[in-house]
Amino acid sequence: MKEPQKSVFVARETYRQRRTMDAARLLPLFGILALLLPLFWSETVTAERGTSRGIVYLFSVWIVLILCAAYLSRRLRSVLRKDESDGDAGGGG
């Protein structure tokens, strides 16, 4: 009995879409790392005016995350539309 085969190589457009999905999966991990960074700031940095530095840093990370998510969600909308009919195109490959 043969397994239904998934193609190993796909067209350029599909390949791009899958990498976009990978990026969407990676984004929160990047976000976690960026938000953990202040914990490793040395005390000399935080002790003096730590809050204002923290505000600038955290809100910058935040806005970057929002922009990345906005870009990715635009790219992924077409995938979702297609998904209505067939299964998940994800799973890498």
Partner 1 sequence: MSFNLLVGVCLAYVAALFLVAFFAERRAQAGKIGWLRSPIVYTLSLSIYCTAWTFYGAVGYAARSGLEFLVIYLGPTLVMVGWWWIVRKLVRIGKTQRITSIADLISSRYGKSNLLGVIVTVLAVVGTTPYIALQLQSVTLSFAVFAGDWRASGRQASAWQPVDLNATALWIAAGLALFTVLFGTRNLDANERHHGVVSAIAVEAVVKLVALVGLGVFVVWGVASGPADILARIDASPIADWQPDASRWVSLTFLSAVAFLCLPRMFQVMVVENADERHVATASWAFPLYLFLMSLFVVPIAVVGLGMMPAGANPDLFVLTIPLATDQDGLAMLSFLGGFSSATSMVIVAAIALSTMVSNHIVMPLWLSFATKGATVSGDVRQVVLIARRCSIAAVLLLGYAYYRISGGGTALAAIGLISFAGVAQVLPAMIGGIFWRGATRIGAAAGLLTGFAVWGYTLFLPSFGGSFLLTEAVLEHGLFGIGWLRPQALFGIEGMDPVVHAVMWSMVLNTLAFCLGSLFSFPGPLERLQGAQFVNVYEFGASARGWRGGMAEAEDLLVMAQRILGADQAQALFQRAATGQGKSGYLPDPSPDFLEMLERELSGSVGAATAHAMIAQIVGGASVSVEDLMAVADEAAQIMEYSSRLEAQSAELGRTARQLQEANEKLTELSIQKDAFLSQISHELRTPMTSIRAFSEILRDGGPVPEEDVEKFAGIIHDEAVRLTRLLDDLLDLSVLENGQVILNEQAGNLNELLDHALAATHAARQERPMRIIRDEHAEDLLIYTDTDRLSQVFINLISNAQKYCDAEDPELRIQVRQRGPRVDIVFADNGSGIPEKSQTLIFEKFSRLSDQAAAGGAGLGLAICREIMANLGGEIIYLPGQGGAAFRVTLPLARPKAAAAQ
Summarize as ranges the residues that interact with partner 1 (CB under 8 A): 1-4, 21, 24-25, 27-29, 31-32, 35-36, 38-39, 43, 46-55, 58-59, 62-63, 65-70, 72-73, 76-77, 80-81, 83-84, 87-88, 90
CA 84 to CA 31: how far, in whole Å?
29
Least distance (Å) between residue 6 CB and partner 1: 11
Least distance (Å) between residue 76 CB and partner 1: 6
Comparing CB distances to partner 1, the nearer of 12 and 81 is: 81
Least distance (Å) between residue 40 CB and partner 1: 9
Comparing CB distances to partner 1, the nearer of 14 and 46 is: 46
Q: What does the chain look like in DSSP terms, one character per residue?
A: -PPPPPPSS--HHHHHHHHHHHHHHHHHHHHHHHHHGGGGS-HHHHHTTHHHHHHHHHHHHHHHHHHHHHHHHHHHHHHHHHHTTS----S--
